[in-house]
Amino acid sequence: MKISREDVLRVADLAYLDLSESELETYRKQIDEILEYIDKLNELDTTNVEPMAQVLADDQAADATLREDIVVPCGVATEILTQAPDPEPPYFRVPKVIER
C-alpha cells in the first residue's frame, strides 16, 4: 500500500478539503493505484538530469527582464465585489478570525 487513510486525511487537511467517509476510502484506493503506476518512473536513472522547471527556452522567454513597475488606475473594485458571496464594499467579509 502506497498511501494510507491517515495520509489522505493529512493531505485533505493541507488542502482545506472536507471529504466524506466514502470519498476518503474511494480516493485512497484510486490514488494508491495511480501511485503504484507512477512508480514506473523509478526504472529510469535520472541522477544527472536537470529537472525541467519551465517550458520556454531562454531565447523564447518573453520577459527576459522585469517590466518597469508603473502604477496604472484599476477601477474594477466595485464590479469585482459583485461576484463575492458576502461583500461589504470595499471589502470581502469573512467569518470572524480573531476573538477580542
Partner 1 sequence: MAENWTIPGVREALTSKRISARELAGDYYKRIGARNAELNAYLALSQDRALAQADRVDALVAAGKPLPPLAGVPVAIKDVISTRGVTTTCGSKILENYVPPYDATAVERLEAAGAVILGKTNCDEFAMGSSNENSAYGAVRNPESPGRVPGGSSGGSAAAVAAGLALAALGTDTGGSIRQPGSFCGIPAMMPSYGRVSRYGLIAFASSLDRIGPFARNVHDVAAVMQIIAGRDANDSTSTTAPVPDYLAESEKPVKGLRVGIPKEYFGAGMDPEVRKKIEAGIDVLRKLGCEIREIRMPHTDYAIAVYYIIATAEASSNLARYDGVRYGLRVDGDSLLGMYRKTRGAGFGAEVKRRIVLGTYVLSAGYYDAYYLKGQKVRALIAQDFREGFTKVDAIVTPTSPVPAFKLGERTDDPLQMYLADIYTVTGSLAGVTGISVPCGKISGKLPVGLQIFGPPFGEGRVLQLAQAFEQAGGAAL
Closest residue by Cα to residue 8 from 39, 23, 34: 23
- Residue from 77, 100, 99 nearest 88 by CA: 77
Among 4, 37, 88, 89, binds partner 1 (CB under 8 A): 37
Interaction residues for partner 1, span 38-97 (CB under 8 A): 38, 40-42, 44, 46, 49-57, 60-63, 67, 76, 79-80, 82-86, 92, 94-97
Shortest distance (Å) from residue 21 CB to partner 1:
12
Q: On the CB side of 28, how many CA atoms lie within 13 Å of its CA?
A: 18
Cα 56 to Cα 54: distance, rounded to the nearest angstrom: 6
The verdict on 99 binding partner 1 (CB under 8 A) reads no
What is the C-alpha to C-alpha distance for residues 20 and 51, in angstroms, rounded to an integer? 37
Q: Which residues would be at the binding site for partner 1 (CB under 8 A)?
A: 3, 7-8, 10-12, 14-20, 23, 26-27, 30-31, 33-35, 37-38, 40-42, 44, 46, 49-57, 60-63, 67, 76, 79-80, 82-86, 92, 94-97
